[in-house]
Amino acid sequence: MEQLGDKKLEIKGNTREKKTIKDIVLDILSKYSMIFILIAILIAFQLLTDGILWRPLNITNLILQNSHILVLAVGMLLVILLGDVDLSVGSVVAFVGASSAVMMVQWQWPPFVAIIVSLLIGGLIGAWNGFWISYIGIPAFIVTLAGLLSFRGLTQVILGGTTLAPFPVAFTKLSSGYIPDFFGEGGLHITSILIGLLLSLLAVWNMWKVRKRKKDNLFEVESVVWFATKVAIMFVAIMLLTFVLASYQGYPVILILVAVLVMIYGFLTTKTTIGRQVYATGGNRKAAELSGVKTKKLTFWIFVNMGVMAALSGLLVASRLNAATPNAGNGFELDAIAAVYIGGASASGGIGTILGAVIGGLIMGILNNGMSIMGVGIDWQQAIKGLILLLAVAFDIYSRKRKAT
Amino acid sequence: MSDIILEMKNITKDFSGVKALNNVNLKVKKGEIHALCGENGAGKSTLMKVLSGVYPFGEYTGDIIYNGEVCEFKSISGSEQKGVVIIHQELALIPYLSIKENIFLGNEQSKKGIIDWNLTEKKASNLLKTVGLAVSPNTLVTQLGVGQQQLVEIAKAFSKDVQLLILDEPTAALNEEDSKNLLELMKEFKKQGITSIIISHKLNEITEVADNVTIIRDGKSIETLTNEQIDENRIIKGMVGRDLTNRYPDRKPDIGQKIFEVKNWTVHHPIDTKRKVNDNIDFYINAGEIVGIAGLMGAGRTEFAMSLFGKSYGHGISGQIIKDGKEIKINNVSDAIKNRIAYLSEDRKNYGLNLLQDIKENITIASLSKIAAQGVIDKEKEIIEAEKYRDNMRIKTKDIYQNVASLSGGNQQKVVLGKWLMSEPDILFLDEPTRGIDVGAKFEIYSIIEQMAREGKAICIISSELPEILGMCDRIYTMNEGRFTGNITKNEATQENLMKLMTAEEAMI
């Protein structure tokens, strides 16, 4: 019987080599489906907004306005990979924003100290959630729903129902500062272009190094043409974005921050034992436990991390609005969760990527931005975003099914 | 023989080509207690599912003649209407409903859709009296012990005017006293003229209550023993009686020193914390030795291995673990792995594999520290390691990037074996290592196990298949109701005396 199975495999392998062009295109489409959706949306809005979308000012605004969601989505991805969810992050955003305002506006603490303390507060809130979830065994949905209510309430207690403002100027630079141009001649932001060039060359070099090491160890590598295409696309994408940004004020500080976070968490999920254990736990908690993964401890720390990310997001929001308001972060948890799902994560855990979550966040952001430029009302924006979420996930499930058969 | 209530004639039932039942015949007299005996997987439960309509008419061939008429049950409710009620091994009560609600579930005492709670309660308390359960019908089922829950199930059966009561392993989860009560109750029913069919592995119970015993082996009805023929040895002979062909690899054991020992191991049930699942077990194993643990379902074998493996099961665990002459403490799974102990679960899909991940990731998950430096995984090293175990385990796939969900049972099991071999264990507990695996792949798994023993690893096989135990093991422990009842060498062991030890009340070493 096993023998028979073997033959079947061989036949399958053969047919796989004789793929038609249509199959190849469909394969690439489904493997990089989220990137294609992102590109399609970029092009669609570029046309619909008569070219306003890609104007340097607008792209810069797009980044400034959505970074907090990307930060939340990165943290949320890890939580969702475990098969859990965190509904409290929107309220934590408000709570941390309010606490930081108390520290900086009322108590006149230096921003640097206030930022550190705020991140610690976020970590403590995460530890609080994580404790009930992993050591007491209450479902994450319930614990964080309680958090959603409590921290919103506490925010109002701290602020006394009013708004605290303004923050020290240095703090507002966190969300609205730019990399200074050392070759300040006006026009193109030369420093940013140099940084962009350096970054893209670094990325290319890294890709080439990985490929070479694989080859040296006699592993299979992708064809030269395909490798070159990938490198070229990445190079062009980074440089295009760099030029657009450079023709306004250059790289925003926050873009660098988000990029570094994405790289760190991308590395964490794909290259480290912790990342592997998160995927294993989300895929089958009992099997992971019986393979020596300390799933309770892992869950606890993932929630601590989520708390810190929510705090960072809260600081970004407070800094951008230059005020702490009781209603800050309302509904952010849903935006973050939607971004993660649009990015191809599975609600039951074990499937999803950082890149996917970031692309999901960008898709949401571009939808917001594009529709606002077009003058679509908030009401219709909500409705359309809901529909896009549904369609994106439906497409993902469809392409996964196609791959399975 | 006009007093036959049930006759099943030439019943054949197959599952995608595999005959689970092959021309089975069964005759049950009115008012008797009829026992069905056979090894695990012989087809007893399948036969009862055919009778009760779980497998509806059309999915099997043959006739069911009940009360003189040919019946074609299309569903469970069809058979229940005629008074045939089955109580399954796994209880089907809803824990957070009360006893009365459970008894009348799907059969609510109602008028125009409105439940008459007074009538319900009255009837329920009468039924509870019948089965001798002295609790209020308003008690939640979750507050009852397993034995009491069993009685509620029986009360539920009686609410449907039962004529033929089928009990599938009713005492498997019960302690001695509850079992005794249940058997007494069955005798009481017999006096009232109710016919019962009981499936049980506990031969002492069968000899106590059964009037006739039908033996099933490999999906065929072998014989029916009548009253005066019933005795444990006779039943065992009927259940076993199969030739052992050469289905196991050659083995020339090279047994070394004692490397692992367990003393006074006692484990309690995690929920019913007073019940001892393992009772004062002493166990040892030598390097290069294959030891078997034979026992019937529910004997406590899996619980023994899992409680040793980082306390993955149980409550109030006590006892000593000695490895290489030194006492060690194992509090969690990673301690166990560090102490070079591995446990392969009987439930491959739920406890063994991550079906979302590929072969490579499943093989390396228990040994990530071996392929990582400072917490960063060396992907190349991972691939080399995974390839090595794919080779060693002879996993038949195109590459190691294939999702494990798409593999055959045999290949999946090899992936799990590969995972545990990569953790470089000294002792492996293999729980039902060939469950759900084709005959051809079984031999390969056996060969891998034999090879591991030859390399000096100590291997403990837990299996419900006696031929497998006899074919593979150098020494065999037998287990019954949480205790070890025997410890015999391969040469002393036969299916008959193993079966006897497995059903023995006390240690017979």
Task: Kindly tell me if the per-residue pLDDT of B301 is higher than 80.
Answer: yes
Instruction: Please report, for residues B172, B173, B182, B201, the alpha-carbon distance to residue B147 in angstroms, rounded to integers and kept in the order given.
Output: 10, 8, 8, 17
Is residue A8 in some structural domain? no
Q: What is the pLDDT of residues A90-115, one digit of tens each?
A: 999 999 999 999 999 999 999 999 99
Annotate chain A with three-state secondary structure.
CHHHHHHHHHHHHHHHHCCCHHHHHHHHHHHCHHHHHHHHHHHHHHHHCCCCCCCHHHHHHHHHHHHHHHHHHHHHHHHHHCCCCCCCHHHHHHHHHHHHHHHHHHCCCCHHHHHHHHHHHHHHHHHHHHHHHHHHCCCHHHHHHHHHHHHHHHHHHHHCCCCECCCCHHHHHHHHCECCCCCCCCCCCHHHHHHHHHHHHHHHHHHHHHHHHHHHCCCCCCCHHHHHHHHHHHHHHHHHHHHHHHCCCCCEHHHHHHHHHHHHHHHHHHHEHHHHHHHHHHHCHHHHHCCCCCHHHHHHHHHHHHHHHHHHHHHHHHHHHCCECCCCCCCHHHHHHHHHHHCCCCCCCCCCCHHHHHHHHHHHHHHHHHHHHHCCCHHHHHHHHHHHHHHHHHHHHHHHHHHHC
Which chain A residues contact residue B438 at CB under 8 A? 1-2
Q: Confidence class of residue B244 from pLDDT cuts 50, 70 and 90?
A: very low
Residue A293: closest C-alpha in chain B: B334
Is residue A148 in some structural domain? yes
- Residue A275 shares a structural domain with residue A391: yes
Task: Kindly tell me if the per-residue pLDDT of A332 is higher than 90.
Answer: yes
Q: What is the pLDDT of residues B4-27, one digit of tens each?
A: 899 999 999 887 666 788 899 999
Cβ of B429 under 8 Å from any chain A Cβ?
no
- Residue A170 shares a structural domain with residue A278: yes
Q: Write down how long chain B is.
A: 509
Q: What is the pLDDT of residues B42-100, one digit of tens each?
A: 788 889 889 988 888 888 899 999 988 888 888 888 888 888 988 887 778 888 899 99
Cβ of B119 under 8 Å from any chain A Cβ?
no
Is residue A6 in some structural domain? no
Separation between Cα atoms, residue B322 and residue B211, nearest integer Å: 49
End-to-end CA distance of chain A: 22
- Residue A220 shares a structural domain with residue A366: no
Structure tokens at A245: 């940004």
- Residue A75 shares a structural domain with residue A158: yes
Q: What is the pLDDT of residues B304-330, one digit of tens each?
A: 999 999 999 988 999 999 999 999 999
Instruction: Please report, for residues A84, A88, A125, A127, the alpha-carbon distance to residue A143 in angstroms, rounded to integers and kept in the order given.
Output: 11, 9, 12, 12
Is residue B346 in some structural domain? no
Q: What is the pLDDT of residues B135-169, one digit of tens each?
A: 899 999 888 887 888 889 888 888 888 889 999 88
Average pLDDT for B498-504:
85
What's chain B's average pLDDT? 87
Domain span at residue B385? 353-424
The ipTM value here is: 0.81
Which chain B residues contact residue A350 at CB under 8 A? 354, 356-357
Is residue A12 in some structural domain? no
- Residue A191 shares a structural domain with residue A161: no
Place of tokens 């924003």: A97
- Residue B51 shares a structural domain with residue B79: yes
Is residue B347 in some structural domain? no
Domain span at residue A395? 18-176+260-404
- Residue B281 shares a structural domain with residue B209: no
Q: Which of B188, B218, B240 is the last residue of a domain?
A: B240
Which chain B residues contact residue A292 at CB under 8 A? 310, 332-334, 336-337, 366
The CATH number covering residue B223 comes to 3.40.50.300
Is residue A9 in some structural domain? no
Q: Confidence class of residue B454 from pLDDT cuts 50, 70 and 90?
A: very high
Please give the sequence-ordered ranges of beta strands (E in DSSP) within B306-407, or none if there are none. Answer: 315-323, 326-328, 341-344, 372-373, 376-377
Please, what's the largest Cα pairwise distance for chain B? 80
Is residue A7 in some structural domain? no
Q: Which of A191, A223, A251 is the last residue of a domain?
A: A251
- Residue B316 shares a structural domain with residue B272: yes
Is residue B440 in some structural domain? yes
Task: Kindly tell me if the per-residue pLDDT of A2 is higher than 50.
Answer: no
> How many domains does chain B fold into?
3
Cβ of A276 under 8 Å from any chain B Cβ?
yes
What does residue B455 show for φ and ψ, rounded to 5 degrees?
-80, 5
The least confident of A215-229, B256-270, B375-389 is: A215-229
Is residue B285 in some structural domain? yes
- Residue A112 shares a structural domain with residue A54: yes
Distance, in angstroms, between B207 CA and closest chain A CA? 40
pLDDT of residue B415: 94
Q: Work out the burial of residue A77: count CB atoms within 10 Å of its CB; fewer than 13 is exposed, 13-18 middle, 19 or more buried.
A: buried
Q: Which of B240, B273, B297 is the last residue of a domain?
A: B240
pLDDT of residue A185: 66
- Residue B19 shares a structural domain with residue B136: yes
Which chain A residues contact residue B334 at CB under 8 A? 292-294
pLDDT of residue B243: 46
> How many domains does chain A fold into?
2
Is residue B291 in some structural domain? yes
What's this model's pTM, rounded to 2 decimal places? 0.77
- Residue A188 shares a structural domain with residue A284: no
Residue B358: closest C-alpha in chain A: A280
- Residue A228 shares a structural domain with residue A307: no
- Residue A310 shares a structural domain with residue A225: no
Is residue A281 in some structural domain? yes
- Residue B22 shares a structural domain with residue B109: yes
Is residue B281 in some structural domain? yes
Task: Kindly tell me if the per-residue pLDDT of A276 is higher than 50.
Answer: yes
Which chain A residues contact residue B313 at CB under 8 A? none
- Residue B302 shares a structural domain with residue B446: yes
The CATH number covering residue A98 comes to 1.10.3470
Q: What is the pLDDT of residues B169-200, one digit of tens each?
A: 887 767 667 788 888 888 988 888 889 999 98
Is residue B89 in some structural domain? yes
pLDDT of residue A398: 79
Task: Kindly tell me if the per-residue pLDDT of A376 is higher than 60.
Answer: yes
Q: Which of B218, B240, B262 is the last residue of a domain?
A: B240
- Residue A302 shares a structural domain with residue A239: no
- Residue A383 shares a structural domain with residue A355: yes
Q: Which of A219, A251, A283 is the last residue of a domain?
A: A251
Q: What is the pLDDT of residues B104-147, one digit of tens each?
A: 988 888 888 899 999 999 999 999 988 888 889 999 988 888 78
Q: Which of A232, A251, A270 is the last residue of a domain?
A: A251
Q: Which of B219, B101, B87, B203 is nearest to B153 (CA)?
A: B87
Task: Kindly tell me if the per-residue pLDDT of B303 is higher than 50.
Answer: yes
Share of chain B above pLDDT 90, in %: 43
- Residue B177 shares a structural domain with residue B71: yes
Helices (H), B253-292: none
- Residue A44 shares a structural domain with residue A167: yes
Cβ of B409 under 8 Å from any chain A Cβ?
no
Q: Work out the burial of residue A156: count CB atoms within 10 Å of its CB; fewer than 13 is exposed, 13-18 middle, 19 or more buried.
A: middle
